[in-house]
Amino acid sequence: MAGSTATEGLVENRHDTATNALIAGFAVLFGLYGSWMFADFLPRAVGFALPALVGAFACYRRADRGSVAAAGCYGLAVLVVLTPFALQLPYVLNGGMVSNGGALSFFQPMDLVFLLIFLVIAAVPALVGFYLNNRGNVRERVGGAVGRVVGRVRG
């Protein structure tokens, strides 16, 4: 089956051993985080397998090790942002909790502060992923800005 489209995408994207190890590491990290995050309403095996497989597939499709690391950082940032919603999901799905707040409990001020804290935490891997994807442009812009500042100081 030389013209098969089902395997073309997977065969073209062969990585070296270190990149495959990085992909496997991110997959395990996504799986462990997902199994903790979804522990209240999914079996641990499903909570591990779903994020691990989706994350590994997303990372494996990248071309080089830097973009694999950037995709892994972006995936981790997405999981961290989704954490407050996943932790509230059992309360939203439980019909008996509606009288105690239920679905509306997420909009209480303390829960919004909780969401803001997770957004700030998620910004760290997102910025690392952005840097890994755009390190050449970032270095060029920072170098140009530093050159302009040093030129003004000397001049």
Q: How far is CA 133 from CA 36, 65, 90, 107, in A?
A: 29, 10, 36, 35
Residues 93-105 pLDDT 10s? 776 555 555 555 6
Q: Nearest to residue 58, comparing CAs of 129, 4, 124, 1?
A: 129
Model confidence at 4: pLDDT above 90: no
**3-class secondary structure for 51-88?**
HHHHHHHHHHCCCCHHHHHHHHHHHHHHHHHHHHHHHH
* pTM of the predicted model over 0.95: no
- Give the C-alpha separation, 87 to 85, whole Å: 5
Average pLDDT of span 119-144: 86
The one-character DSSP state at 2 is T
Task: Identify which has the larger pLDDT, 11 or 42.
Answer: 42
Q: Residue 6: helix, strand or coil by DSSP?
A: coil
Contact 91/105 with Cβ under 8 angstroms? Answer: yes
